A and B are shown apart, each in its own frame.
Chain A
């Protein structure tokens, strides 16, 4: 397992920051969380590919379905999740500086933006249901409700994780050398954001 964590025979080349020295290459968070993230990404990849294939078979149904969605709510949700992810990233940065209370406050702001996402999503579902559209309406809405509900459940799980991380951070439960749990929670939250930035164009934009 250690080989997986430390596997890096050469430097990482990037345009965005100086090349980190080999000794500093470290996987943030627990290895188990990264395997879990890979498993989640794989499941969603299958759903996204299934959606794209279904759209090719029933293009008329999918085109009509997309016009019945509220595109602006999808945009609001994308902005909210990206902003939430940003606050989690700077909360982790604050935690690296051992500023537990500031970090916990930033996580609360992150959860506020996540609540915007949840509120808009629920509003969107209710609007569709009031129009008589549900999961059995057609293939498009079956996949739409299935994929977005599945993603919403991940958002809710992420919020529960961030809740416990924030409490522990506020109590001073993390420090520079004991931050793995915080990093794992943050990585999970960024995965939720990553999934949405693929889901949004696929279901709402294209």
Chain B
């Protein structure tokens, strides 16, 4: 027992030392990156890591200075396996390693539990991709994101359904996950406020493949639009079964649906489906084509989140330079005042750490591919 507590003391002492070194703005500023680097979402996670790497390499090549002293940024990439438990372990490890800030995590389900650890350690966190509203609404002054959140997405989807698609009778399905339910609730509030009828609200799970019973119910209510809050493994068979049952209503979903996998799984039934994604298509981003050329030369095609991770690093480095310190206590208030023209668009944070001008783009499946229709962005 005594040996154990001695070991714990020693460990605490050592990590304490490590932390101090980076606080004092020595030559190395450590930035953590947490994302699923292995497993089914590894491609997306690696994409995010590479986006951040590209930014760190570029910044280092420009001989950055913080508070008049030359510094080198170092990226510590950790694998959270898209698993909340692993994510908290990884977060603790990054804190122990003395990072000044963290880019990540990728999934809302990992970002939210990890955010508490960063908050308690007073470390800045920017998620390039977590969209769950809760992440920035826990009262943590350390939590930021550079992508529009689900509430913003749900609102835009509701607007689009009623104003652009002219839907009056709307049926809503969600998969009872935090993401699906949150998106569907915000969508429902928006369409109701715009005077459309929500004729049916049905539920499924994120493991189901049979939706015949709930779709038959929906069919009886004769909707002109079916909204689904959930992911592509459900959306694919769902739209097939809709068409099978002779439901000709339009189909609309969020970013969980706007994937190539949805088109593969739904087959010809996917044609004409609508879905949204936060952010702009890479070709429409202010500095998108330029970024794409740089990134592709080094890492191959962009998957999705690379430009957001890239911007997040620049935003962090900018705040540190301006504050003249890599100590989160000093640069956090400066980070909140960020006004930066990134690859992905203008980055300014509101009091919660959400983007004030997050863009949302609507897509439709046309001839077997997602085609961007229009982008909504507050000005």
Question: Do they bind each other?
Answer: no
Instruction: Name B residues whose Cβ lies closer than 8 Å to a Cβ of A.
Output: none
Instruction: Name A residues whose Cβ lies closer than 8 Å to a Cβ of B.
Output: none
